[in-house]
Amino acid sequence: MKKLVIICLILFTLHGFAQQVSEQEKYNNNDLKYRMSFPAIILGNIGKGGERTNTKHIELQVKRELDTKNIIGVKFATWRLFQPMGIQWWDGLTNKIDSKAEFYPGHLRETGIGISYQRMLWKGLFASIEVLPLYKTYLNLGDKKIANGFKLYNSYHVGYHFAFGKKKQFFIEPQFHCNVWHFDTNTPESFKQLDNKWDSYFLFEPNLYIGIKF
């Protein structure tokens, strides 16, 4: 009886191991290990032209799947801010946009290239972190440059990966971000007075990324 139990345990163990090997081989044979995506929010800026609140946001991410759980990537992003980023939802963010009460005396353009790490947790559920060094350019209301600076921008994400298509090559990733920025240097006084009134982080930013695997 003991021998039969031992034989069954060995068979179950070998079966489980064979399934893991089979899954890994299936992944290794999958040639769609790269992915490219962008946030859907940038589509909302199309057609706004020179509007004051147009963030002129452009962002592209290219990632590489190391295995079924770990994904690394490179991110390029540029955007234009018309008011401090640290105004939270509960501070009346949308109302302040309507009233223009916290608008900068110009714009802040931030551009950078950073890195990301994404960890698949369970099925499509994932968590990720991004580190994005940003070069800052401050512009007055006449779009004339008045200063340059540097910001280290970090973001933490939780979301879900939905894949579709014949080879699951297309995907969307609804997610929430928590954003923090450090080493924010050389801010002009007129901009700093507004920034100092608010946080150096922004919580619970909703977003939707659209992408393709290749």
More confident residue, 65 or 9: 65
Separation CA 116–CA 131 (nearest Å): 6
- Residue 8's pLDDT is what? 39
Hey, what's the torsion of the CAs at 147, 100, 96, 145, to 10 degrees? Answer: -10
pLDDT digits (tens, 9 = 90+) for 59-113: 999 999 999 999 999 999 999 999 999 999 999 999 999 999 999 999 999 999 9
Separation CA 74–CA 99 (nearest Å): 37
> Does residue 19 surpass a pLDDT of 60?
no
Separation CA 139–CA 28 (nearest Å): 49
> Does residue 10 surpass a pLDDT of 50?
no
Q: How far apart are the first and last CA of the chain?
A: 53
> Does residue 147 surpass a pLDDT of 60?
yes
For residue 166, what are its two tokens? 């014949």
> Does residue 9 surpass a pLDDT of 80?
no
Hey, what's the torsion of the CAs at 26, 27, 32, 36, to 10 degrees? Answer: 150
Contacts of 82 (CB under 8 A, 6+ apart): 52, 53, 55, 103, 104, 107
Coil/strand/helix, residue 53? coil
Average pLDDT over residues 21-43: 74
CA 187 and chain centroid, separation: 25
Secondary structure of the chain: what % helix, strand, coil (to 5)?
A: 25, 50, 30
List the one residue out of 76, 45, 39, 75 whose CA is nearest residue 211: 39
- Residue 12's pLDDT is what? 44
Q: Where are the domains of the chain?
A: 1-30, 33-213
For the domain covering 33-213, report its CATH number. Answer: 2.40.160
High-pLDDT (> 70) share of the chain, % = 86
pLDDT digits (tens, 9 = 90+) for 35-66: 999 999 999 888 777 799 999 999 999 999 99
- Residue 30's pLDDT is what? 64
Please list the residues that pair with 63 across neighbouring strands. 35, 73
